[in-house]
Amino acid sequence: MTATSAPSTRAGTRSSTRRSARTPQQRRNFFWGLVFTSPAIIGLLWFTAYPVLVSLYYSFTSATMMKPAEWLGLGNYESLGSDSAFWNSLGNTLYYIVVSVPLGIAVALFLAILLNLNVRGQSIYRVIFYLPAIVPLVASAVVWLYVFNPQYGVLNTVLGWFGITGPGWLASPEWAMPALIIFSTWGAGNLMIILLAGLQDVPQDLHDQAKVDGAGVFRRFRHVSLPFLSPHLLFALVTGLIAGFQFFTPVFVLTNGTGGPAGKTLVSGLYLYQNAFQFFKVGYASAIAWVLFIIVGLGTALVFRLVGRRVYYGGA
């Protein structure tokens, strides 16, 4: 990667002598290196290392917002096992991730391919597709309340044109989660831009050559573009998984912070928030955070295991 300093000489200096024996140049660089990175080092300790350790400690205690912590050992984790709301939230989160991540990638990929076709007005389309991703989530969620309205909403009106009686969306236990997924997919613009950047890296002469050999649109995509896109797709999968577990703002706004109807949209992020900031159960909330963290870690490792080896890292 970026290890530009000669490894042989460095290893030699490190093993035999101490810092003071280095050249003045090296000492000066070390000093300035520390100066420049000191904000990040302080930030790392203050805003990451310290809270991570405290959170781990809290998860073994009965801490609340008002009461100091009392050691519970694995008590919180045991309670989680029999907490049906927790399992429900985990199930809802998995439902959300399993549907929304592949759907989001498929839509983003489709849009990126369309935008890569070099048609007229490309920049206008690009802005239109990207707009939902940059508009404040809270505001667009409020707007979608109106879109999803069973009677006066756009969605059911349009479905009505095709003779379909639309469901109650956010008011209906079965359709509330699909509604949230539709809303998320509408904002797939960020991913689209990343995939578009990947598509633009595909060498054009490879494409032309495949064309001469008689490969159709589909085969050209499968055998030429896809290998170049695979790192981007892996990135999309992993970040989608992590973001899926942190899904919060749309549920909070669209369900008014309740996770309703009938708890069908109570996702893990919301349940965690409720425990910490509504029930003030800091210890319990921390245990939830760590269980989620472990699941995310395992999930990411699994993705790398299953998909990672199929990824092609082009020319570089």
Partner 1 sequence: MAVAQRTALPAQRGAGWNKLAEKIVAHAFLIVISVIFMVPFFWMVSGSLKTGVDLNAFPVVWFPKTLTLENYIAGLQVFPFARYLFNTLVICAFSMLGAALSSSFVAYGLSRIEWRWRTPLFVVILSTMMIPFYVTMVPLFTMFRAIGWTDTYLPLIVPHFFGVPFYIFLLRQFFLSIPREMSESARMDGANELVIYWRIILPLAKPALAAVALFQFLTSWNDLLGPLIYLSDADSYTLSLGLTFFRSEYSSQFGPLMAASTVVVIPVIVVFFFAQRTFIQGITLTGVKG
Site for partner 1 in 164-183 (CB under 8 A): none
Q: Judged by CB under 8 A, does residue 286 bind partner 1?
A: yes
Choice from 12, 17, 52, 208 touching partner 1 (CB under 8 A): 52
Which of 177, 237 has the CB closer to partner 1?
237
Q: Compute the distance between CA of residue 13 and CA of residue 194 in angstroms, rounded to an integer.
A: 43
Angle at 267 between CA 263 and CA 270, to 5 degrees: 100
Q: Compute the distance between CA of residue 127 and CA of residue 289 in angstroms, rounded to an integer.
A: 37
Q: Alpha helices, DSSP H only, in the chain?
A: 7-16, 24-43, 50-58, 75-81, 84-115, 122-134, 137-147, 154-161, 176-186, 189-200, 204-212, 217-220, 226-245, 249-254, 268-277, 282-307
3-state SS assignment for residue 160: helix
Choice from 12, 17, 33, 223 touching partner 1 (CB under 8 A): 33
Q: Judged by CB under 8 A, does residue 110 bind partner 1?
A: yes
Q: Least distance (Å) from partner 1 to the CB of residue 177? A: 19
Sign of CA dihedral 42, 14, 10, 31: positive
Q: Least distance (Å) from partner 1 to the CB of residue 261? A: 14
Q: Judged by CB under 8 A, does residue 285 bind partner 1?
A: yes
Q: Judged by CB under 8 A, does residue 26 bind partner 1?
A: yes
Q: Judged by CB under 8 A, does residue 71 bind partner 1?
A: no
Q: Least distance (Å) from partner 1 to the CB of residue 314? A: 7
Q: Least distance (Å) from partner 1 to the CB of residue 223? A: 14
Q: How many CB atoms lie within 10 A of CB 30?
A: 12
Which of 85, 194 has the CB closer to partner 1?
194
Q: Judged by CB under 8 A, does residue 66 bind partner 1?
A: no
Spatial CB neighbours of 154, under 8 Å, sequence gap ≥ 6: 146, 147
Residue 261 in contact with residue 267, Cβ under 8 Å? no
Q: Compute the distance between CA of residue 60 and CA of residue 54 in angstroms, rounded to an integer.
A: 10
Residues in contact with partner 1, shown as a per-residue x/- string from 199 to 238 under the rule CB under 8 A: --x--------------xxx------------xx--x---
Spatial CB neighbours of 33, under 8 Å, sequence gap ≥ 6: none
Which residue is listed with tokens 């290392």? 49
Residues 121 to 150 in contact with partner 1, rule: CB under 8 A: 121, 125-132, 134-140, 142-147, 149
Q: Judged by CB under 8 A, does residue 301 bind partner 1?
A: no
Q: Least distance (Å) from partner 1 to the CB of residue 58? A: 7
Q: Which stretch binds partner 1 (CB under 8 A): 73-81, 82-90, 94-102, 241-249?
A: 241-249
Q: Judged by CB under 8 A, does residue 12 bind partner 1?
A: no
Q: Judged by CB under 8 A, does residue 304 bind partner 1?
A: no
Which of 77, 126 has the CB closer to partner 1?
126
Q: Judged by CB under 8 A, does residue 30 bind partner 1?
A: yes
Q: Least distance (Å) from partner 1 to the CB of residue 184? A: 13
Q: Compute the distance between CA of residue 198 and CA of residue 131 in angstroms, rounded to an integer.
A: 20
By CB atoms closer than 10 A (0-12, 13-18, 19+), residue 210 is middle
# of chain residues touching partner 1 (CB under 8 A): 112
Q: Which stretch binds partner 1 (CB under 8 A): 73-81, 83-91, 172-180, 194-202?
A: 194-202
Q: Compute the distance between CA of residue 219 and CA of residue 132 in angstroms, rounded to an integer.
A: 32
